Structures are given as C-alpha cells and as structure tokens.
Amino acid sequence: MGCHALTVATCIVMRDVVNFPAHIIRQQIVDVVAKCHPRAVKVGLVRTPEAVGVVSNGIVGMRRIVVAPGIMASNNVQLVDDDTIDAIRRCLIPVASLLVLRQVEAEKILGVNIATDSDMVAAAQSFIDMGAEYVMIRGGRITEGRVTALLLGNDVKQFFSSYNIEGWKRHGVGGALSTAVATRLGMGDNVPDAVRNAHEFVHSRIVYSVSGSGKRMRPADIYNAFMNLLSNNYQRAHDVAFYADRLCITTRYLSQITNESVSKSPKQIIAEYLLNESRQVLENSRLSVKEVSDNLGFRAVSVFCKLFKQQTGFTPSEYRRHIVR
C-alpha cells in the first residue's frame, strides 16, 4: 500500500504462546519511535497487564492509533486473561483513534449479548464513552447468510456487509484490515476514509483473492489484479473488455483464468460485484433506485433493474421493501 511497517514483537507462537518480558517490549518501542518516528500505530495482541502498560506509555502523544487487541482467536478461544482485558479497557481503549473488535470480543469486554443492529450500535457507543474516537465492530452474523461490521463515530454510523463469509473468515484477514487502516491513516486519511480504502484493499486482495504457487502463480496474479481493478473501476466499467485491455490479455484468456480460479466467468464476477454493492447501498442508504443505478455506473436505470431482478428475483424497490428489515 506504499508504506513501510515496523513490528514490535510482544509474544511468539511455538507450541504455546510465549510472552516477551515487558522490558524487552519497552526497548523495542523506544528504538522504533526514536529512529523512525512512525506516522501511525496499530496495537495488536498484548497478553499481560505489564505489557499493556508499557505499550500505552510508549505511544503517548501519537495522534493516529488503531487498537485491535485480538482478545479472542478465530475459534473464539480467549487469548488473554481477564486482568489483561481490564488493562486494555483502562489504558488502550481511551487513546484509540479507532478501536477494532470482533463481535465476540466486544461481548466479552462489555459482558453483553449483541443480537441486533441496535445492540451493535449500543456496544460501539459504550466504547466511545470509554474514550475511543471511532469504533469498528466486525464479524457479526445478525443477518443470516452474510457477515456484518459497523463503524461508529461522532460523524459517521455506517454498516458494512458481505456475502463472502468464508473469505472474511480466512486466517489473518482481521489483522490485515486493521493494519491497512493504520497504513491509510499514516498516509493522511481521516478514519472513515482510511476504513473505506482499507476495506477495498482487503476485499480485493485478500477476501476475494486466490493463492498460487509454481506454474500457477501467473494465473493467480492475473486473477488478483482483475479483482483489484474491479474494486477500483466497477462504478464506471462493466464490460469484460475494459479489464482485459488493462491487464494486457484477451477477454478469452481472462475468462480462462477466472474459470480456473473460481469457476466463474468475468461477466459473472462483475455482475456479482455490482449486485453486492447495490445491495449494500439499498440496505444502508436512502438513495433512490435511480441514484443507486447512477452511482454504480449503469447507462440506464432499466438496465440496473433488469440485472438486479435476474440475480435476486426482485426489483430493487421490492428488495428494499420486502428483504431489508
């Protein structure tokens, strides 16, 4: 993304997780801050109250701090003890420019059950009341068949949703997202813009990416580049030829690549991307159907409505009226 990251290690995973002594963590922070003057900081897994205190003292005065403490593993195993959670609550949450938590982590810290969108908003507000400037709660399953996240701050309340649940569950996606947000903050974005840009990056490069090795690396690279182009151009380009031309390949070869990678044609991938984006706008805004169509780059609202009904069985108006609760 155009930045250079430096890591202060707080623990190492072997058969078990081994915590570094607090004085080792302190010295790493001193060296990094003194020599490199970081523009933004992300705080990840910190596993002891002493380490939390050292980290908190080491980042005093920094203006762009993303706190993503990783309290729970992806299998919902608790990674830190309750004393450390209390230290995170007291020392790190109040200094967070953005606090990023999975839903189960928010439930653990607050001792509440999050079952509705309103619960999600109330939980995020509780963290803002603790001192966090913005809060993102991610990984909610409030609506069947999709994963939900909420960004809340004084000037924004935005829900994000994705139908690619398995993609967002991939190992390391949450860490990549919070690191990408910190990167964008370091490049000068405000928090809402940083979240949007980081989300687009992770969505195209990780959630919808494929891995490759050996002889198959080149096709995988092309597929990932196609998804990155799509995430940046879907509002103005819906034809396969546009993307093939920018990848310097034929439309036939692009079709071969996507069929091998995800068993879908480029046209199907573009249609699904547009459908998912249109669903999010219909669900989370009051824009008219024509405004949604215009924002997504359709040449006519009738073309948008036809595609939407082909994909969902509903017109956009019917979808908003009957599906969105």
- pTM here is 0.65
**Alpha carbon of residue 236 to chain centroid:** 23
Output the six-digit token pair for 217: 């690396």
pLDDT in tens, 9-25: 999 877 788 999 999 99
Which of 252, 253, 176 minimizes the C-alpha distance to 209?
176
> Which residues, other chains included, contact 5 with Cβ-Cβ below 8 Å and sequence gap of 6+?
179, 183
In a shared domain, residues 200 and 85: yes
In a shared domain, residues 141 and 22: yes
The pLDDT assigned to 216 comes to 43
Integer Cα distance of 90 and 99 in angstroms? 13
> Which residues, other chains included, contact 191 with Cβ-Cβ below 8 Å and sequence gap of 6+?
97, 98, 133, 134, 153, 181, 185
* DSSP character string of 213-260: -GGGHHHHHHHHHHHHHHHHHTTT---HHHHHHHTTS-HHHHHHHHHH
CA dihedral of 278, 280, 282, 287, whole degrees rounded to 10:
-90
Which of 70-79, 126-135, 220-229 has the highest average model confidence (pLDDT)?
Answer: 126-135
Which of these ranges, 11-20, 86-95, 196-205, 286-295, has the smallest mean pLDDT? 196-205
In a domain, 3, yes or no: no
pLDDT in tens, 64-78: 999 999 898 777 788
Which of 3-17, 119-133, 307-321 has the highest average model confidence (pLDDT)?
Answer: 119-133
What is the average per-residue pLDDT within 220-238? 85
Give the domain CATH number at 164: 3.40.1190.20
Residue 282 has pLDDT above 60, yes or no: yes
In a shared domain, residues 170 and 270: no
Supply the range of the domain harboring residue 236: 212-325
Q: Which of 206, 223, 252 is the last residue of a domain?
A: 206
Which of 83, 105, 277 minimizes the C-alpha distance to 174?
105
In a shared domain, residues 15 and 81: yes
Q: How confident is the model at residue 298 (pLDDT cuts 50, 70, 90)?
A: very high
In a shared domain, residues 200 and 267: no
User: What's the Cα-to-Cα distance from 277 to each of 36, 76, 129, 168, 261, rounded to whole Å?
Assistant: 39, 29, 32, 16, 22
- The values of phi and psi at residue 304, to 5°, are -60, -45
Which of 48, 60, 116, 117 minimizes the C-alpha distance to 85?
48
In a shared domain, residues 59 and 170: yes
What is the average per-residue pLDDT within 35-40? 88
**Alpha carbon of residue 221 to chain centroid:** 21
In a shared domain, residues 188 and 230: no
In a shared domain, residues 39 and 91: yes
Domain count, the chain: 2
In a domain, 162, yes or no: yes
The pLDDT assigned to 42 comes to 96
- pLDDT averaged over the chain? 86
In a shared domain, residues 43 and 101: yes
What is the average per-residue pLDDT within 249-275? 90
The pLDDT assigned to 41 comes to 95
In a domain, 266, yes or no: yes
Q: Which of 190, 206, 222 is the last residue of a domain?
A: 206
Q: Which of 206, 221, 247 is the last residue of a domain?
A: 206
Give the domain CATH number at 284: 1.10.10.60
In a shared domain, residues 161 and 94: yes
Q: Which amino acid is residue 90, in one-letter code?
A: R
The pLDDT assigned to 21 comes to 94
